[in-house]
Amino acid sequence: MKVSAITLGCKVNQYETQAMLGQLQQAGFTICDGSADIILINSCTVTAQSDHKVRQTLHHARRENPSAILVLTGCMPQAFPDKAAALSEADIVLGNSNRASLVNNILHYLSTHQRIVDIEPHAKTFEPMKVTNFYERTRAFVKIEDGCNRFCSYCIIPYARGRVRSKPLSDLRPELQSIGAHGYKEVVLTGINLPAYGQDLGLTLCDAVETACAVPEIQRVRLGSLEPEQLTPSVIDRLAKQQKLCPQFHLSLQSGCDRTLKRMNRHYTADEYRTIVRNLRHVFPNAAITTDIMVGFAGETKEEFQESLAFAKEMAFAKVHVFAYSRRPGTRAADFPGQITRAEKERRSHRMAATAQKTRTAFLQEQVGRTEPVLFERQKETGVYEGYTPNYTPVMVASGNILSGKILPVKINDALSDCCSGTLDKTDSME
């Protein structure tokens, strides 16, 4: 039988989808794209809009594949089991804690044709899971941490993911070795609260980074989204010793205003965030600092927004994901006073995005004239390839040779609207 997958949400979900497809492939199912006998939908629930997208995806999948078996799994069923169970288009509904039962549940459904809803409480230890093949990808995502203990006032994720759990190094090491043996040159370490890695094991994120960097075939190690306050000077200094670690750090800011940060239940101040960025830039030359910024959080005054806007400009981020606050049922902030109108949130989003584009443009212009190793991922158009530098600057290069999957030195010649263009360095030969 053929199986296809639809992944909604974050890089952790992407990893988990690949792991589930691997389970199914080992059980004798055939993995494909598009229409299939079984369609796996790995859901996100970070916002109310995410839940809406889950419902839309289910409706569309059922309409386009009326006889297929639809499997709904991921964060939405785990956080809201009753709502997920009520989505009748799904033949099988699983949470985040029992993906290991996926194959057995599908086989049981095939024999009985009885709908299955199987959602268990969060596990207390890291769920055994590994991936060796990322379909049509140049870099491999490796989930090393799950869960979050922070309980930001706007966030449902601790309910969808549970408490912090970490992958033991004894499991991580052979997975990374297998990924390297499969030809992947870059690994991205991901997690729900990545810097919390190892809290339950007496380890730190540095231990995982060092383990990844020790694999000879892996030439680059990149980190997923990071909660900033856990990047202490000692952690930063230890990370800086790893030459394979890419100098790109996605530090989730959310707001540059201390009063807003406090209402959000974030665990740092703007000044502490500023110090962390300075420390990173000091030890990682030409580092790219990227971030998320939320506008229109409950109670955010015009003055507070201005403060956040000024802070974003000061930090000179390489890239910013700007998004408007969305009330999330089940979180404390949903009942906060001072909810901002949609129109005002849109205005603030546009202003923040405009500032973010200016700092993005300035960052790209700073890359011009540099020669950087570029990992080429795909052919964007005939004879034009796209790849990324260590600090995740996208670079376009024209070439008559096949560049995909290769790391080659590129002279960056120009900055465009959202990427750079360059030419292969003639002093180095092709791989």
* β-strand pairing of 248-250 with 319-324: unpaired
- Stretch(es) of the chain classified as CATH 3.40.50.12160: 2-118
Closest CA to 424 of 415, 348, 407: 407
Q: Which one of 3.40.50.12660, 3.40.50.1010, 3.20.20.70, 3.40.50.12160 gives the CATH number of domain 2-118?
A: 3.40.50.12160
- What is the predicted pLDDT for the residue at 429? 43
Comparing CA positions, the residue from 182, 138, 104, 179 lying closest to residue 375 is 138
CA 281, CA 251: separation in Å to the nearest integer?
Answer: 13
Instruction: Please state whether beta strands 69-74 and 116-118 pair in parallel, antiparallel, or not at all (unpaired).
Output: unpaired
According to CATH, the superfamily of the domain at 368-424 is Nucleic acid-binding proteins (2.40.50.140)
| CATH topology assigned to domain 249-367 | Transcription Regulator spoIIAA (3.30.750)
CATH code of the domain made up of 136-246: 3.30.750.210
> Under a CB-based contact definition with an 8 Å cutoff, are residues 80 and 331 in contact?
no
Cα–chain-centroid distance for residue 150? 18
- List the structure tokens of 253: 């800011």
CA dist 293 and 291 (Å) reads 7
pLDDT tens string, the chain, 431 residues long: the values are 999 999 999 889 999 999 999 999 999 999 998 889 999 999 999 988 899 999 999 999 999 999 999 999 999 999 999 999 999 999 999 988 888 899 999 999 999 999 999 998 888 888 888 886 665 578 899 999 999 999 999 999 999 999 999 999 999 999 999 999 999 999 999 999 999 999 999 999 999 999 999 999 999 999 999 999 989 999 999 999 999 999 999 999 999 999 999 999 999 999 999 999 999 999 999 999 999 999 999 999 999 999 999 999 999 999 999 999 999 989 999 999 999 999 999 999 999 999 999 999 999 999 999 999 999 998 988 899 999 999 999 999 999 999 999 999 999 999 998 999 999 987 654 44
Task: Please state, in angstroms and rounded to a whole number, the distance separating the CA atoms of residues 249 and 236.
Answer: 11
How does pLDDT run across 3-40, given as a tens digit for each residue? Answer: 999 999 988 999 999 999 999 999 999 999 888 999 99
Question: Cα separation of 324 and 256, whole Å?
Answer: 15
pTM of the model: 0.91
Chain centre to alpha carbon of residue 331: 22
pLDDT number for residue 47: 86
CA–CA dist 57, 51 (Å, integer)? 10
CA–CA gap between residue 65 and residue 211 (Å, rounded):
43
